[in-house]
Chains A and B, each alone.
Chain A
Amino acid sequence: MRQPRRILPGFGLTLGYTLVYLSLLVLLPLGALFVKTASLSWSEFAAAAFSERALAAYRLTFGASFLAAAVNAVLGLVVAWVLVRYQFLGKGLVDGLVDLPFALPTAVAGITLTTLLAPNGWVGSLLQPLGIEAAYTPLGIVIALTFIGLPFVVRTVQPVLEDLEQEVEDAASSLGAPRWQTFRRVLLPAISPALLAGFTLAFARAVGEYGSVVFISGNMPMKTEIAPLLIVTKLEQYEYAGATAIAVVMLVVSLALLLVIQGLQALASRRGRSVKAGT
């Protein structure tokens, strides 16, 4: 692999095209967001980005996303475990279906979940006698975000579980460790970077999610209004400065999450290798 690599043609052409296309389509438009923000004074920016209504929207967005990602971390781990370790009828079909939330347009997911959970829906009508309201409440938002983030934990943990050498576990058990202790001391450390990466991916996706949530949330300011919806509302009222300020806050959070995810994925693949090598 270490021979001189410049022998291959096309480096200048492809790098040039990549940079121009990337700049025009992604970097320049994102730059416009910061140019627009720079035209606001600090007090204008703070008034829009940290108003009572905006703060309530952030709390709801991050809180619901965190809960949804946590549900997915626990149940996603169970799903990954069952898919890797056990045999059962229809396993291939179940495994393929896990990716449905990636493939199903978010608006379809949104109207479907709302219809299911509405007071007269298949599930909502069962929940109503129990005094649980899911549609048009924060609970509904958490459910929609759980749907959207479902594949992330499964798909990040699954390959790590598959690569784990069963010998390490066997060794632990043959030395007399109870099953639970083997899981906690041997398996969990090995899969935790992947689990955390999956959790963060699901959280990051949920924070920006719009399509599946607008239908189910009821969209009441201060109560069930998520941050992406607040941006759209401001835009529809031609409050460009307000929309921009909230968008910048969301963008900065997304960028931070992107860096965390890349770090975790690098850690997960390193940890995966070292476990495989038996260290």
Chain B
Amino acid sequence: MSESDWTLQSMISASPRHAAEDPPWARRTLTAVALVFLALFLGLPLLVVFAHALSAGLDSFGNAVSDPAALSAIRLTLLVAAISVPLNAVFGVSAAWCIAKFDFPGKRLLITAIDLPFAVSPVVSGLVFVLLFGAQGLLGPWLQDHGIRIIFAVPGIVLATLFITFPFVARELIPLMQEQGPEEEQAALSLGASGWQMFWRVTLPNVRFGLLYGIVLLNARAMGEFGAVSVVSGHIRGRTNTMPLHVEILYNEYQTAAAFAVASLLALLALVTLCLKHFLEWRMGRRQGAADAA
């Protein structure tokens, strides 16, 4: 930047900015409207979860979350997340690699197809697996003959969760890898690195925060999914209940304090997710579009 550019720059930023500023009354009114809206719709519900979770005292909170049915729901939720997160993360990296670093016909269509699960209602996402693997489903009779249970069992819950959380990592990595371009990888190869060396030493470190970001969102959705899992699970207590389903059962049995006790664990997960998301956005030095977490 030359000397004269500098002068010009400082002249522009020194020029009075008030020209386009809002009058104080508008400023105050708009801020008040925004804060009241957010306090009512976000702050108050968050407060309610924790207030009701502890409303019957710490002992009953402890009993509610250490009840055998609650423990088995927590175990199942962790298991489902432990399967879905790595599978969809590997898929996301693979899809982002071929879409971001290569040109091929049908790329736009492929990106749209990857977005599909976000557009489909969770209930419909569960239903398709019932139609495929249920007792009256297309593959139902064959599965029954071979003694394989998918619907109303853990495999169905895993499949529905995989479907629902399918796009998270791919969506995060595609724009990131596109932005970075192929130059660094090409340099690594021309210096004699093998394909895997290039991947582990160049590609993965370059996208690590974006990958983590996608994984954090994917994990939150996998642990919290309700609609799709509810359709395929059969609600067998102690066997096919995840945490959100356990919350529903307790709530419908009027065990409100216990329902909120388990719900508060999920709300804590949400808060941890938001903190991690915020941290990763700060590390990446950018803001996320809304569609990411849809």
- Chain A residues close to B by CB (< 8 Å): 1, 5-11, 13-15, 17-19, 21-22, 25-30, 32-33, 35-36, 75, 78-79, 81-83, 85-86, 88, 94, 96-113, 115-116, 122-123, 146-147, 150-156, 158-159, 162, 166-167, 169-170, 172-174, 179, 182, 198, 201, 204-205, 207-211, 215, 228-229, 231-232, 235, 238, 240, 243-244, 247, 250-251, 254-255, 257-259, 261-262, 265
* B window 182-220: CB within 8 A of A: 182, 185-186, 189, 195, 198-199, 217, 220
**Complex A-B: 5 CB contacts under 8 Å:** A14-B98, A94-B38, A96-B275, A102-B217, A244-B131
Which are the 8 A-B pairs with shortest beta-carbon distances?
A: A208-B121, A105-B224, A155-B290, A169-B20, A211-B226, A210-B227, A102-B293, A103-B270
* B123 within 8 A of partner (CB): yes
Contacts of A27 in B (CB 8 A): 113
* B83 within 8 A of partner (CB): no
The distance in angstroms between the C-alpha atoms of A143 and B274, with both chains bound, is: 22
Given contacts A5-B182, A35-B138, contact A100 B119 (CB under 8 A): no
The closest CB in chain A to the CB of B278 belongs to A96
Contacts of B6 in A (CB 8 A): none
The distance in angstroms between the C-alpha atoms of A232 and B127, with both chains bound, is: 8
Selected from B45, B259, B290, the residue in CB contact (under 8 A) with A152 is: B290
* Nearest CB in chain B: distance from A231 CB, A: 5
Q: Determine if B101 and A154 form an interchain contact, defined as CB atoms under 8 angstroms apart.
A: no
Contacts of A258 in B (CB 8 A): 112, 115-116, 118-119
* B120 within 8 A of partner (CB): yes
The closest CB in chain B to the CB of A113 belongs to B45
1/0 per residue B261-294: CB within 8 Å of A?
A: 0010011011101110110000000011111011
The distance in angstroms between the C-alpha atoms of A244 and B23, with both chains bound, is: 55
The distance in angstroms between the C-alpha atoms of A262 and B245, with both chains bound, is: 33
Selected from B91, B122, B166, B185, the residue in CB contact (under 8 A) with A8 is: B185
| Given A29-B132, A108-B266, A179-B23, 11 further pairs, Cβ under 8 A | A32-B128, A35-B138, A82-B31, A86-B31, A102-B217, A105-B269, A106-B224, A147-B42, A173-B19, A198-B290, A254-B120
The distance in angstroms between the C-alpha atoms of A235 and B130, with both chains bound, is: 9
* Nearest CB in chain A: distance from B65 CB, A: 14
Contacts of A22 in B (CB 8 A): 95, 110, 113-114
